Structures are given as structure tokens and as C-alpha cells.
Amino acid sequence: MNRRLAVAATVLCLLAATAATAAPASAAEPAPSGRPVAAADASVSLRGTGDTILDSRFGTFAGDPVRLTIDARADPLKPSETTRGHFHVRHVHTDGRLVADFEGDITCLAVGGREAVATGVVTEGEAPWFPGKPVVGQKVALSVEDHGRHGDRVGWVWGFFGEPVSDCQGTVPFIRTTGDDFTVRG
């Protein structure tokens, strides 16, 4: 009988130990570093301004300066609920005429390493070079590859040209910046 009790006690101890190690940790429990885990610790951001000069791939716009400014941040665990930010794009032709100038609110931000994609909706602006193309209310995608203080790469997709823009999806950053700097954190 004592032997049966000893075996039963050992089995119960093993079950209790297994259950304790399998239990999920709560957000209030310390992380391996000893610090409590908080939602604020999990944030990503894309901030900065980048100037670029359009190259021959842009046909009659080759040589035009374009400036992009982005300030976006989000909790990567809840991007649709926590994304906040703003963007501004200005494109001027080499002869000084305005091609497009628009800005809006960031609606989604995705970060992976040194790359980020921010999508948003234009809230105000104009594109006089393209009469009849409604700009306000259209979606845009802005992508950035952060290479430190100089030589970042950017890319974009403009919904007002009929291009599909889905939340947090964009294009490969395809053109190098010539001035200023973007910072991707995440």
C-alpha cells in the first residue's frame, strides 16, 4: 500500500510540474530579461523625409524632384487598431510646374528588418498634371528601405492611377534617395 501511495504521489508531482511549465505566461509576468512585458514595448515606426530625382524609367518626368515625408507608428500585434501617422508627397517638374502635391493619413504600417511599407488615404491634395484624376480619397502605398544616414531606397504605388493598393502591401523600394533620411524601427 505504501508503495502504491508513493507511485501515486510521484505521478501527481510529475503532472503538476508538467502543467506548470506548459501554462502560458501572462503579459504581467516578467520577460526573460526580468522586465515586465508591455504592449508599449512592441512598436514599429517609419519616420523621415526623402528626396529623389526620377530617372529614365519615368519617361518625360526623368529629372523631376520628388519629396516624400512619412511619420508612421503602430503596434505590430494590432496594426489595424493602432496605426497612426501622416504622409506628404510633392512632385515638381524640371520646369518648376507642380505635377502633384498631396498628403493624408497612414492606415497601415508593416515593418520587417530595415524595410517598411506604409499605406494610407489621401485627405487633401492635387495632381494638376493629370486633370480628371481624383486624388482625395484614394489609397497610396509608400515603401522604404533604410540604409542609415544616406542612400535609402523608396517606392510607391498611387491608387489614383488605377493601381490596386491593399493595406500594408506595397512595391519594392525601387529608387535611391538623394537627400535627407528615413528611419525604420521595429
The answer to the question of residue 26 being in a domain is no
Digit-coded pLDDT (tens) for 50-102: 999 999 999 999 999 999 999 999 998 887 788 999 999 999 999 999 999 99
Number of domains forming the structure of the chain: 1
3-state secondary structure of 74: strand
Residue with cell 518626368: 61
Instruction: Provide the domain limits for residue 164.
Output: 44-185
Q: Report the C-alpha gap between 19 and 12 in whole angstroms.
A: 11
Q: Parallel, antiparallel, or unpaired: how do β-strands 175-176 and 115-126 relate?
A: unpaired
Average pLDDT over residues 165-176: 92
pLDDT number for residue 180 = 81
State how far the alpha carbon of 34 is from the alpha carbons of 20, 37, 75, in Å.
19, 9, 22
Burial category of 8 from C-beta neighbours within 10 Å (exposed 0-12, middle 13-18, buried 19 and up): exposed
The answer to the question of residue 160 being in a domain is yes
Which cell numbers hold the place of 51?
528626396
Q: 178 phi and psi, to 5 degrees?
A: -110, -10
pTM of the model: 0.75
The answer to the question of residue 119 being in a domain is yes
**Most distant CA pair in the chain, distance:** 99
Digit-coded pLDDT (tens) for 13-60: 333 333 333 333 333 333 333 333 344 446 999 999 999 999 999 999
The answer to the question of residue 2 being in a domain is no
Contact present, 138 and 157 (Cβ < 8 Å): no
The answer to the question of residue 72 being in a domain is yes
At residue 109's C-alpha, the angle toward residues 167 and 170, to 5°, is 50
Which cell numbers hold the place of 92?
515638381
